[in-house]
Amino acid sequence: MPELLRLESVSRRFGGLQALQDVSLEIGRGEVLGLIGPNGAGKTTLVNVITGVHRASAGRVLYEGREITRYRPYQTARAGLARTFQVVQPFPELSVLENVSAAALFSGGNGGMRDAMRVARTQLAFVGLSEVAEKPASNLTLAMRKRLELAKALAMRPKLLFLDEVNAGLNSAEIEQALGLIRRIAESGVTIVLIEHLMKVVMSVCSRIVVLQNGGLIADGTPDEVVANRSVIEAYLGKKYAQVA
């Protein structure tokens, strides 16, 4: 499939800590890519570097063939990269609709507040939050806040969407609902990078998985290839997968 994003030997250092080390990776258009690894492996740092929250200490980030290594977050957002955050923090005093409208405005490329409100209502309907659109975001349950976070990201009209632990804290029924939304987003043509600890989720929606450990890429392949990889078993998956592989 055609390439959408490429990382060329990307590294990131925080003082004496090497958070990312020489990560090279290609992501194709329309792909659903799983990004896994132990806590502290560098997964969120990698997303932060791609989206401009942190600058790469070395290497290059290319998106649609142009270099975005030095882009700021607002520039990456307007280029078509959006993300959700592991810790969901909506504007609590604003309504659900206002939260999503703010994201639509931030991304640019719209006709002002009226268009932003229209986009927001469309995305709230998509994630199943239309009935609470006028309620304060502080009134939402955790599962609803997760869907609000997703609606905010989608309101930015992304071509590439990073989903950071969207299922954390959810029960089985809520996870199934989230999986349905992820599949529908992928079917619409949006490229997805899914950062996830639940392997059943990764295995069910991702066509490819990459694994980070200590800031370095240790595996890249199909789900079946990755769960059979001895390095991945030892670093992350543990004895349950070692017995199967």
CATH label of the domain that carries residue 175 = 3.40.50.300
Backbone CA torsion sign across 120, 73, 78, 208: negative
Residues 61 and 162 grouped into a single domain? yes
pLDDT at 109: 62
118 shares its domain with 166: no
pLDDT at 223 exceeding the cut of 50: yes
Q: Is 30 left (phi over 0), alpha (psi -120 to 50) or beta?
A: left
Tell me: do 167 and 150 sit in the same domain.
Answer: no
163 and 75 in a common domain? yes
Contacts 24+ apart (CB under 8 A), 165-172: 165/86, 165/195, 165/196, 165/197, 166/84, 166/194, 166/196, 167/196, 167/198, 167/201, 168/86, 168/197, 169/142, 170/142, 170/143, 170/146, 171/143
Residue 216 has pLDDT above 80, yes or no: yes
Over 80: is that where the pLDDT of 243 sits?
no
**Above pLDDT 90, what percent of the chain?**
84
Per-residue pLDDT of 11-45, as tens digits, reads 999 999 999 999 999 999 999 999 999 999 999 99
Residue 107 confidence class, pLDDT cut points 50, 70, 90: confident
Q: What is the pTM of this model?
A: 0.92
Q: Which residue has the tokens 């079917």?
A: 187
Between CA 10 and CA 57 the distance in angstroms is 8
Structure tokens belonging to residue 101:
């409208």
CA end-to-end span of the chain, whole Å?
29
Q: Identify any residues that bridge with 162 across adjacent strands, giving them in sequence order.
A: 83, 193
Number of structural domains in the chain: 2
**Rounded to the nearest 5°, which phi and psi values hold at 165?**
55, 50
Average pLDDT for 60-89: 94
Residues 207, 103 share a domain: no
Contact between residue 192 and residue 198 where contact means Cβ atoms under 8 Å apart: no
- In the chain, what percentage of residues exceed pLDDT 70? 96
Structural domain of 111: 89-155
> Is the same domain home to 231 and 164?
yes
pLDDT(108) > 90:
no
Angle formed at CA 142 by CA 140 and CA 145, multiple of 5 degrees: 60
